[in-house]
Amino acid sequence: MSRLLLVDDDRDDVQLTLLGFRDEKFACEVSVAHDGQEALDLLLSAYAANAPLPDAVILDLKMPRIGGLELLSRLKSDPRLRGIPVAVFTSSGHEADVTEALRLGADRYLRKPASLRDYAAIVKQVRELISVKSPR
């Protein structure tokens, strides 16, 4: 079973994502962090404890404390964590956000869908992401 870390401060969106994954029968274990700081703490403590790291991080952009772009840049510049594939998952279609995320090393840029039906495409992308994940 895949292990995912979902980083999103919006509890509604977290729940919708879980609903969407369930609808698409995406068998995975999802941990949730509510901002970038929490995500970093989780990942680094897992690394320190030599516990398994998630197969992918799915992160929102607008979050308190450490936002998505900063988290992304920290993940990609940290030799301990840069192997984890990262998908940005946001409702922003702002060109500047997209280009900045890709520049910082995001592996996917996914828009939050307006319909549960559209989670099919999201799940497909996340599955792909996990399957090509780089070795630790």
Partner 1 sequence: MLRANIKRTRPGAHPRRHAEKGRARAFRAEPDFFRLALESLSEYALITTDTALEITSWSGPAAAMFGYTGDEILGRSISCLFTPEDIEQGIDRQEFADALTKGRRDDERWHVRKDGRRLWCYGLSFPLKDAKGGVRGFVKLIRDDTSRKKKDDLLRESEERLRLAAESTGLGTWDYDVARKTFRLSERAAVLFGQAGSGGGFEQIIRMVHPDDRERITRDFESAVAGHASEGQDMEYRIKAPAGRYRWVRTMARPYRDGTGPVPRRILGTVIDITEERRKRLEERELSQELERMVKERTAQFQALNKELESFAYSASHDLRAPLRKISAFSEAILRSGESALSPADQGYFERIIAATVKMHRLIDDMLNLTRVTRKPLERVDCDLSRIASEIADDLRKGDQSRQVEVVIEDGVHAEGDCELLTIALRNLLDNAWKFTGQHPRARIEFGARKSDGPPVYFVKDDGAGFDMRFAHKLFGAFSRLHPEDQFSGTGVGLGIVERIVRRHRGRIWAESEVERGATFFFTLYTEAE
Binding site for partner 1 (CB under 8 A): 10, 12-13, 16, 19-20, 23, 91-94, 112-117
Which residue's CB is nearer to partner 1, number 18 or number 130?
Answer: 18
Tell which residue, 2, 46, 45, has the closest CA to residue 24.
2
Q: 52 and 3 in contact (C-beta within 8 Å)? A: yes
In angstroms, the CA 16 to CA 129 distance is 20
CA distances from 66 to 4, 49, 94 (A): 19, 23, 19
- C-beta of 22 vs 80, nearer to partner 1: 22
Q: Which is nearer to partner 1, 79 or 95 (CB)?
A: 95
Q: How far is the CB of 82 from partner 1 (least distance, A)?
A: 29
Judged by beta carbon, residue 23 or residue 29, the one nearer partner 1 is 23
Would you say 8 or 55 has its CB closer to partner 1? Answer: 8
Place of tokens 């998630």: 54
In the complex, the smallest distance separating the C-beta of residue 101 from partner 1, rounded to whole angstroms, is 15
Measured distance CA(94)–CA(27) in Å, rounded: 31
CB of 64 to partner 1, least distance (A): 15
Residue type, 52: P
Helix (H, G, I), strand (E, B) or coil at 89: strand
Task: Report in angstroms how near the CB of residue 114 gets to partner 1 at its nearest.
Answer: 5
Q: How far is the CB of 44 from partner 1 (least distance, A)?
A: 30
